[in-house]
Amino acid sequence: MVNISNNSHKLPYDGQCEVSLTVKIHSTEKEVHNVIIDTGLLTSSTYGLKVPFTLLDTANFTLTGTVALADGKPMNIKYIPAATITSLQGIELKKKVSVPTIFLGKRPLIGMMFLQTCLMNLDGPKKQAFIQWN
């Protein structure tokens, strides 16, 4: 059982957890909504955030590479070495979190690299989710 302290924040949860983030891509901050917290998008933990192709124009430069999806299929991607997450659900993060970021498809996802910076409790039977930073 995980203890949730008074400084934890409740997140929306209904079978999946979707959040809103403020992400700084190079010098541009953007709000990204309906970001699914996903621990299994990629078979490697090289990338911590997937944002839609529509945000490509905010990057000063991109690199190209290939990733393996959870089903083993390879996919070509464009990525940047780090985008900085500055807020989650409107809560300004005291410690900004920089994660390697891929531009892929339409649906934004955030994964383990970000989740390793906090305590997260997803309680499916109670349909509750909480997040907390030290």
Domains and CATH numbers, the chain: 20-111 (2.40.70)
pLDDT tens for each residue of 87-114: 999 989 888 999 999 998 888 988 878 8
Farthest CA pair distance, the chain:
44
Tokens of residue 117, six digits: 């910076």
- Total-model pTM: 0.82
By CB atoms closer than 10 A (0-12, 13-18, 19+), residue 53 is exposed
Cβ proximity of 100 and 110 under 8 Å = no
Whether 121 shows a pLDDT value over 90: the answer reads no
Predicted pLDDT of residue 55:
94
Question: Is pLDDT at 56 greater than 90 in this prediction?
Answer: yes
What's the alpha-carbon Rg for the chain, to the nearest Å?
Answer: 15
Alpha-carbon distance of 22 to 28, in angstroms, equals 10
Q: How many CB atoms lie within 10 A of CB 106?
A: 9
Q: Is residue 85 predicted with pLDDT exceeding 90?
A: yes
Where would I find the beta strands (DSSP E) of 1-134?
A: 9-11, 18-25, 28-37, 49-51, 63-68, 74-88, 91-103, 109-110, 119-123, 128-132
